Amino acid sequence: MRAAAEVRADVFVQLSVAVSLDGYIDDASPKRLVLSSAEDLEDVRALRSRFDAVLVGAQTLRRDDPALHGAKARVVVTKSGDLDPALRFFDGSAPSIVVTTDSEVLDPREILERLTAHGIDSVFIEGGTRVLTAFLASGTFDALRLAVAPFFVGEADAPRVTTPARFVDDASHRLALRGVRMLGDVAVLDYARRA
């Protein structure tokens, strides 16, 4: 299964996610849970501007309506294509690309091939769970930025970083820790995939 991760479009992929100490990316309430510190949010904004595009899943777009400040282009992956044109994603402040898929299982390689067709050579992926699971499980990424908030969520129906899957990076194929930073009260761990 490990060899499949190497077969992908030539796009640099940076995953970025903020999690609670118990691995949640949000709580179960209708309002978005802010896991990041102000310093971490500023760092993410600066990082976005270094990439050709920022990618999120449709569920994240519908639930959070993120502004994605700093993005040169914005990408959303959706199965239904049912997206409210009033979302900030479509406000015209950056080119917006909608990638549709007719499968329940996202194919990161196909997504990256479509982005390459748009001239995108680097993508900053911010989730949510479905998108993160697809890219993490397949090993279709170059770097992972994990911001850990200093509290627990503990709600069984709240979204986690991933759903159950078979991951390419496992106990025998570990990611390389490149650095740890403190941004306010958040610990940011930077990982890279090993060659």
Which residue shows structure tokens 């940011």? 188
Query: Which position has the higher pLDDT, 166 or 9?
Result: 166
Average pLDDT for 165-169 = 96
Please spell the DSSP secondary structure of 62-75, one letter per residue: HHH----TT-SSEE
* pLDDT of residue 195 exceeding 70: no
In this structure, are strands 122-125 and 12-19 parallel, antiparallel, or unpaired? Answer: parallel
Structural domains of the chain sorted by starting position, each given as residue range(s) with its CATH number in brackets: 8-192 (3.40.430.10)
d(C-alpha 153, C-alpha 38), whole Å = 19
| pTM, two decimal places | 0.92
Query: Average pLDDT, whole number, for the chain?
Result: 93
Beta bridge partners of 96: 74
Shortest CA distance to 63 belongs to which of 153, 17, 128?
Answer: 128
The pLDDT assigned to 105 comes to 82
